Structure 1
Amino acid sequence: MTWTLGQLRTFVAVAELGSMTRAADHLGYSVGAVSQHMAALRKVVDSDLFRRRGRGLVLAEAGRTLLPRARSILAAQQQAEMAMLGRDFRSEAIVTLGVFGSASTTALPKVVRELAQRYPHIEVRAREINVETMSAAVIDGVIDLGIGINYPAAPLPPMRGLRWEAVADEDFGIVVPAGTSRPSDAELAEADWILPPAEELFGRAMRLATSALGINAKETHIVTDTAVALALAGTGLGLTLATPIMMSLGGPDVDLHPVAEAGGREIIVLTSPDPSDPVRAVAEVVTEVFA
């Protein structure tokens, strides 16, 4: 097989960004050049590397096989360049960690600092992934491991090619404007609510949580972004539910009143069933940070 570093670099960009257009913007190429690279690489491997999913691209089986090896080839090329400049990077490993909003603000800085002290040869590259697609991103090889969410009231189904472990538990609480007391049951029933879309896993979990409170929540505002939901709650436009980690996306305008009866969520670490040693090391540090 004969491929070029440029083709592999383009392939990795398309795999990580899920689009030839975004890969072209990232690399500074034209979309036509990216398409030519992918056509040439597909001819070399004699198999489809991607398949369509909606408007984006996801890795086909051949692409999932090639991606970690392409990353290794590109890392080895970079290490060779560094060695020629008098630096020895033979043991360096690059691990891509999928994160979502509150996880990135709460845990990522601590994870990076701890890894630098204990495993200085491992470089972590964070990539924000929609928590709804975190499992697929691990299975498809887009990321090496991910920080995800499982809701015991609406648990994740078993998925082939995926292993996950719960590293922290936290309960939901009612988010209200700062300085406001916990709403009574009657106030909960009459209040406007700020909820995620019902078709999302988070949305289903939130609705189950409000049902556990014994109310049929009035869905006045449908908001996907947790930071936006917290901001709206802080202005008094409605109530929402959050966990202590989710509150890191809020500000001083909101308070959290715990309600254990509403249930909660688990922070989980997702990997392939047989991760590499560097991925295991990162998973170990992530687990300790959340614990």
Structure 2
Amino acid sequence: MVRYIRQDESQRDKPIGVESPRCPVCGAELDEDDYRLRHYSQLGCWSCPSCKSAAPALDVVASNIREVPEGFLIDIADSTEQLGGRDFAVNDVLVPCTGLYMVYNLLAVRIATALLGCPAEVFRDVVATFDPKNGRLQEYAVGGRAIMTNMAKNPVGFNQNIHMALKYPALYAVAFLMDDMVECNGDYSWVDGIEFSMLRSAVEAGVPVFYGGEIADPLDRALSAAQITAERADTVADVLAKLADDGARKLFVIANYHALERVCAELDRLQATTKQS
């Protein structure tokens, strides 16, 4: 099962969150010259100069990807007849989420639902009305301010979230909150791989950036290394207090897995209090 996305050259973004991909057949390291198209991390259309392997032929394709205020519009089509003889095609699917990785996720969902016999019209309607309630791309409103939460587990995830915020067409602010990750055993050197430098021009244009949580120090170090001026704020309430005089900005709260639950619980309380008042 292949879930690559085909995009026109004019639509593609520059690769972000780039790791050091290796050929899944022989293990040779691949570089940019080995990619015809690269979306982010190791995802894209590659060929290996060592063993001559290449990205497999596409089974199901997302194309005509258009950014709209609500997220993405995409078309899904079959490329082969290898997946159970099902019809996967459906046009103008509204993906009400930002982040190119959501297009990959939707391809996987379409494959699974089509194999289970879900009609294209039902799939389109369900996706368009999807409203996550687990903190991932979840929308809140507190005191008239729009807030979106999302989770990031590693540099690629953080970079995708930064890229998502940078594409927001109106005023916004960004907060990075991280709590202790026991599996890291105190080693947070991976935080240095987050490309905070992508925010530099936005910060220079007046976008506020905040950071905090139980392990704020690695964030502080990485932000400083990227020459990003940011304020310490350990909770959403702290961030909102610092933004009190600028109610027009949407707030993107990017939290690691260990901070997301308490962030959402805090926002649930704040949102409920706002509605009651």
Shorter-chain TM-score: which interval?
under 0.3
Q: TM-score if structure 1 supplies the norm length?
A: 0.26
Q: In terms of Rg, which structure is larger?
A: 1
Q: TM-score if structure 2 supplies the norm length?
A: 0.27
